[in-house]
Structures are given as structure tokens and as C-alpha cells.
Amino acid sequence: MNPHFLYNTLEVIRGEALIKGEKKIAEMTASLANYFRYNISRKETFVMLKDELKNSMNYFHIQKSRFGEKISFQIEYHGVEEKDVEKLYIPKLILQPVIENAIYHGLELKMEPGSIKVHITATETHLIIQVTDDGLGMTKEKLEQINSESKVNEEDLQERHNGVAIRNIKQRLKLYWGGQAYLYVTSELGMGTQVYIKLPLLREKEEYMNL
């Protein structure tokens, strides 16, 4: 499908919704268009942190139209100002899959409302992102499979808390920076899950980022 056809169609839907006073539909359509534009049309392998966060928020807004007040999303900065880290470069699409996991495997089947929080901090050399949810959590066995460095059957991982997406991010971080970057998951059944991502602090694009 031609991406421009998709975007133009979504814009028509958004316009019709606004004309009819359907603000919620208009907002959801705008979020969907921006989400597709980021994922399909932006070809960079590295983006600024602010863009990755914006895409994650668009994704959450789309999901919120389904789950309503059952789910909430918040971004918090610790020891750093947003303006000081928003233009740091990170690999594209390392946050949205984590948030997707949190919704579908942590919050969807939870009886009570649940929340996802993105905590951002930095040292002189590294950016640290922590994505937490207060959802169902996972068993020790599932957690060990996700954090394992050994090869695991992808179909098995798909059944184990959608470990394929997490494993893909881990492999990308290792490919770019080796031991200088990592993703690690902690969780307790019934208490929620925490995903820790640490990567080099990059204010300028380096040559390998354009490949």
C-alpha cells in the first residue's frame, strides 16, 4: 500500500470526525497516522529520544481508545531535565515494543486499572531508561528465558511474555555497542515488570548510525 494513500485516507477520516464533533475519533485517527508515519516513512535507524517518546505516546493513545481509564501512561525524569536529554540519539523502536508488552502481557488481563511509567535518567556517559508496569508480572522461569543469552526457540519465546521483541532489542544494543549497552528485565508474579535499558549517551550522530 502506498503510504501517502494511507495518510491521506486517515486525514479524511480525521476531518470528517472533526466536522461531526467527534473529537475522540479525530484524536485517535491523528495518533494512528503519526504512528504509521514514524514506523513506515521514517527510514532512520537512530532517532532523538523525544521522537521515540512521542511515538510511544501515540501508540499508547491508540490503545487507550480501547482500554479507556483502565490503563495510564506517564514519563518521569530523574536528576535530569527533559530539555537536556530530549535530543539524545537512541535506536529507533526500542521503547514502543516494551510498552506494547506491558499492555498486552501485564495490564490487559489485570482486573484493576494499571499503569505504565517510563523513568529517564542519565550519567555523564550513559542514558538509562526504565519502563515499569504494575501488571500481572511473570514467573521466574519466564523471566530467566527472557534474560538468557542462550539461543531459545522464537515460538517458545512468543509464548513466554512476547520475549521475541525484547530479545530483538537486546541483540540490536549488543550489535551497536557490545557490553556498553544492555536490556535487563526484572519481574515478580502478581506485582509487575521492570525493563531496564542502558545505552551510551550520544548527542551527535556517529557514522554507524547512518547505515
Question: What is the per-residue pLDDT across 74-104, written as a single tens digit (0 to 9) for each?
Answer: 999 999 999 999 999 999 999 999 999 999 9
Determine whether 162 is exposed, middle or buried from the number of CB atoms within 10 Å of its CB (0-12, 13-18, 19+).
middle
Tens of pLDDT, residue by residue over 159-202, are: 444 567 898 999 999 999 999 999 999 999 999 999 999 999 99
User: Is 68-210 assigned to CATH 3.30.565.10?
Assistant: yes
**pLDDT tens figures, 133-155:** 999 999 999 899 899 875 545 45
DSSP H helices, the chain, are 3-19, 23-36, 49-67, 82-85, 96-101, 140-147, 154-159, 163-177
Phi-psi region at 34: left, alpha or beta (left = phi > 0; alpha = psi -120 to 50): alpha
Q: What are the φ and ψ backbone dihedral angles of 135, each rounded to 5 degrees?
A: -85, -150
Q: Cα separation of 99 and 57, whole Å?
A: 10
Q: State the amino acid at position 131 in one-letter form.
A: V
Alpha helices, DSSP H only, in 39-103?
Answer: 49-67, 82-85, 96-101
